């Protein structure tokens, strides 16, 4: 797995003394005992390739964008004409689910601590983080809409909606409790987690 990382030195640290220090670093046999963290302040300028520890994939077939999430909270985007971008989540944790709202420039990332991250692909910014109350065990977006179904570890299915202005996730009043899908919940043994949700075909056009 090949990754190419380009590191840039910030302008405020490119003083003559630091430039001389950089030249010393590049010389063979240089001793780093006197180097301090404040002497050189670097930042990630560009990342090319597939990140290490890739886990989940998502694709927007209309805008032709491909997303890859990693175990440390990063998301790599691949677009048309070989364009690439790297998104870094504030929580360095793995992803559970990764899905686009197609043709809207929105990527939804559900991480291991049950937060739903809303990424603005055009601006490459994290627009909103929704903290879910229960453990998320299943997630899907209804096609051609801003609605999403979330299944949790206690057997309930909730409906969320992404409001575009402002870009936030809103909890709807619709809810499918465990009792509605299993009848008498007291007779249900073992794990009640929702494992898969299959929206009704073409339901988005019949509301």
pLDDT in tens, 18-34: 555 555 555 555 555 66
- Over the stretch 88-120, which tens digit does the pLDDT of each residue have? 998 999 999 999 999 999 999 999 999 999 999
- Over the stretch 144-159, which tens digit does the pLDDT of each residue have? 899 999 999 999 999 9
For position 165, what pLDDT does the model report?
84
Among candidate residues 84, 63, 72, the one with its CA nearest the CA of residue 3? 84
Q: How confident is the prediction for the chain on average, in pLDDT?
A: 81
For position 20, what pLDDT does the model report?
56
Residues in the chain: 207
CA separation for the pair 141, 101 (Å, rounded): 7
Which top CATH class is 55-205? mainly beta
pLDDT band at 9 (very low <50, low <70, confident <90, very high): very low
For position 79, what pLDDT does the model report?
92
pLDDT band at 2 (very low <50, low <70, confident <90, very high): very low
pLDDT band at 180 (very low <50, low <70, confident <90, very high): confident
pTM recorded for the entire structure: 0.73
For position 178, what pLDDT does the model report?
83
For position 53, what pLDDT does the model report?
85
The residue-averaged pLDDT of 190-206 equals 73
Q: Name 84's bridge partners.
A: 78
CA separation for the pair 104, 51 (Å, rounded): 25
For position 106, what pLDDT does the model report?
96
Assess whether pLDDT exceeds 60 at residue 135. yes
DSSP 51-94: PTTEEEEEEETTTTEEEEEETTSEEEEE-GGG-EEEEE-SS---
Of 26-40, 157-171, 192-206, least confident by mean pLDDT is: 26-40
110 membership: H or E segment, kind and range = strand 106-111
């Amino acid at each position: 797995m090949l990754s190419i990382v380009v590191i840039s030195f910030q302008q405020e640290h490119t003083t003559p003394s630091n430039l001389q220090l950089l030249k010393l670093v590049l010389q063979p046999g240089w001793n780093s005992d006197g180097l301090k963290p404040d002497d050189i302040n670097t930042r990630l300028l560009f990342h090319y390739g597939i990140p290490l520890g890739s886990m989940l994939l998502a694709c927007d077939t209309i805008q032709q964008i491909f997303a890859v999430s990693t175990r440390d909270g990063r998301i790599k985007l691949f677009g048309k004409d070989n364009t690439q971008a790297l998104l870094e989540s504030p929580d360095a944790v793995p992803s559970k689910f990764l899905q686009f709202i197609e043709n809207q420039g929105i990527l939804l990332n559900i991480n291991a601590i049950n937060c739903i991250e809303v990424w603005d692909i055009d601006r490459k910014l994290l627009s909103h983080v929704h903290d879910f109350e229960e453990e998320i065990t299943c997630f899907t977006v209804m096609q051609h809409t801003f609605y999403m179904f979330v299944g949790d570890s206690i057997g309930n299915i909730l409906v969320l909606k992404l409001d575009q202005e402002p870009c936030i996730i809103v909890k709807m009043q619709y809810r499918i409790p465990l009792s509605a899908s299993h009848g008498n919940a007291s007779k249900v043994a073992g794990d009640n987690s929702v494992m898969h949700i299959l929206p009704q075909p073409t339901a988005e056009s019949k509301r």
